[in-house]
Structures are given as C-alpha cells and as structure tokens.
Amino acid sequence: MKTLTINLPETFQVPGMVDAPEHLRSIPTTQWNEEFCLAAIKHGVKQSLQDTWSSGKKDVAKLEKRYNAFVEGDWNQRERTGESSAKFAAKLMKQSRTLMLKR
C-alpha cells in the first residue's frame, strides 16, 4: 500500500459548465475523505481508459499510450496526430473559398 498526502482546496470550479446554475459549478471538498478520493481517482482512470478504447475503435496502440501515461503519472498526456489541426485548416480553406465565390 502506498500513502499519499494531498492538500485539497476548499472548493474547485468545474470547467465547461458556464450555462449550468452557478451554485452547481463549484464543488466543495470539505466532506471528502480518503475513500471518496480513491473512488474518484479510480473512476477517472477507468473512464479515460474506457473512452480511449471505445472511441479509438479498439485501437490497442492508443490504449497502450493512455495506459502508459497513467503508469507514468501523466494525466494530460495526449496523442498529437495533427488531425485536429488538419481538419481545422481544411474547414477554414473551404470557408475562405465560399466567401471568395460570393463576392
């Protein structure tokens, strides 16, 4: 068993919920104990791995990369394929052409 000591903020804001009622966007941590924190960590890791597996079309390489990131203690590690940038550039080019044709 490994022991960790962490300092929790009294509350934290949940991003991406600006349209939710204000009182539901801030989570107080005053009642959280060790069991709750461990359950939350397990759920977050499980959800991330399951999402990677299902949205990755059962891609073992993507799952291994995500798994290894957790083993390394790196929550934010992501695969940088450039696909998002390429999609954005293609959409921007298409819109530019459409605007030029309307002139």
Total of domains in the chain: 1
Could you report the per-residue pLDDT of 62-92, keeping only the tens digit for each? 999 999 999 999 887 655 556 666 777 777 7
Q: Is the pLDDT of residue 102 over 70?
A: no
Residue 3 located in a structural domain: no
Domain that holds residue 29: 11-102
Is residue 78 a contact partner of residue 62, using CB atoms and an 8 Å limit? no
Residue 54 located in a structural domain: yes
Residue 42 located in a structural domain: yes
Could you report the per-residue pLDDT of 44-62, keeping only the tens digit for each? 999 999 999 998 789 999 9
**Cα–Cα dist 68/47, whole Å:** 15
Bridge partners of residue 12, in order along the sequence: 27
Is residue 53 a contact partner of residue 63, using CB atoms and an 8 Å limit? yes
Residue 72 located in a structural domain: yes
Residue 16 located in a structural domain: yes
Residue 40 located in a structural domain: yes
More confident residue, 78 or 14: 14
Residue 78 located in a structural domain: yes
Segment (H or E) for 26: strand 26-28
Residue 5 located in a structural domain: no
- Position of tokens 């954005």? 88
Is residue 25 a contact partner of residue 17, using CB atoms and an 8 Å limit? yes
